């Protein structure tokens, strides 16, 4: 069964790269450029997994994760953080906000898919 994924990142290149990786694994992919845009998208669509950056304008990834977890529809949806931030403090903040996992950029497509498959299983 086709799964739906949402990628949230202010970088057009990053959105494309993750989309290509997920589409190769037969995901249907939608994209948003920041937290505010993402909330608009999730209001109209369901997703099996959400992958988000942290440092974005208008609304950052941490804030987005918190809001998604308050939304009954996405309370248990796997949310992976894909970011350049690698420090323990930031990871802890993400975990407390409700992130399912943390991937540090630059990412290897195989590594990303391995993580996606694990959390979507």
Partner 1 sequence: MSEAYNILETNKNSAPKNRESLKNIVKKWLSVAESQVCALEVLSSQLPKLNELLEDNMIDLSTSFNILAEQARNQSGNVSAVSQSAKIFIVNGYPTTFRELLVIFHKLIDDAKENKHSEKNDKMFNDILAAVCQQEQSLSEKLKKAECSSDDMITAVSSAVVGMQFQDRVSQNLVIATNVSREIIYYLKDAIGITIENLEDRDTFLTENGGVELDKDFAMKMIQHLTLGELQQKFIDHLIHHKYITDPSQIGFNSLEKGKLQKEHTDEVELF
In whole angstroms, what separates CA 13 from the centre of its chain?
15
From the list 6, 14, 30, 51, which residue makes contact with partner 1 (rule: CB under 8 A)?
14
| Interatomic CA distance for residues 58 and 90, integer angstroms | 19
From the list 17, 22, 49, 64, which residue makes contact with partner 1 (rule: CB under 8 A)?
17
Identify residues 78-117 at the interface with partner 1 (CB under 8 A): 84, 86-89, 91, 95, 99-109, 111, 114-115
Counting beta carbons within 10 angstroms of the beta carbon of residue 47, is it exposed (0 to 12), middle (13 to 18) or buried (19 or more)?
Answer: buried
Work out how close the CB of 42 gets to partner 1 at its nearest, in angstroms, rounded to a whole number. 21
* Partners of 63 in beta bridges: none
What tokens appear for 58 in the block?
């208008």
Number of residues that bind partner 1 (CB under 8 A): 27
| Interatomic CA distance for residues 47 and 5, integer angstroms | 5
Q: Which x/- pattern, by CB under 8 A, does the window 35-74 give for partner 1? A: ----------------------------------------
CB nearer partner 1, residue 31 or residue 115? 115
Kindly state the DSSP code that residue 98 receives in the 8-state scheme: T
């Amino acid at each position: 069964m086709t799964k739906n994924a949402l990628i949230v990142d202010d970088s057009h290149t990053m959105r494309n790269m993750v989309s290509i990786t997920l589409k190769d694994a037969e995901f249907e992919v939608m994209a948003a450029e920041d937290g505010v845009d993402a909330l608009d998208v999730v209001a109209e669509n369901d997703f099996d997994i959400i992958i988000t950056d942290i440092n974005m304008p208008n609304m950052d990834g941490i804030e987005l994760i918190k809001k998604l977890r308050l939304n009954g529809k996405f309370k248990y949806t796997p949310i992976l953080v894909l970011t350049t931030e690698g420090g323990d403090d930031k990871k802890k903040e993400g975990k407390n906000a409700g992130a399912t996992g943390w991937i540090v950029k630059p990412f290897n497509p195989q590594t990303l898919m391995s993580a996606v498959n694990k959390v979507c299983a």
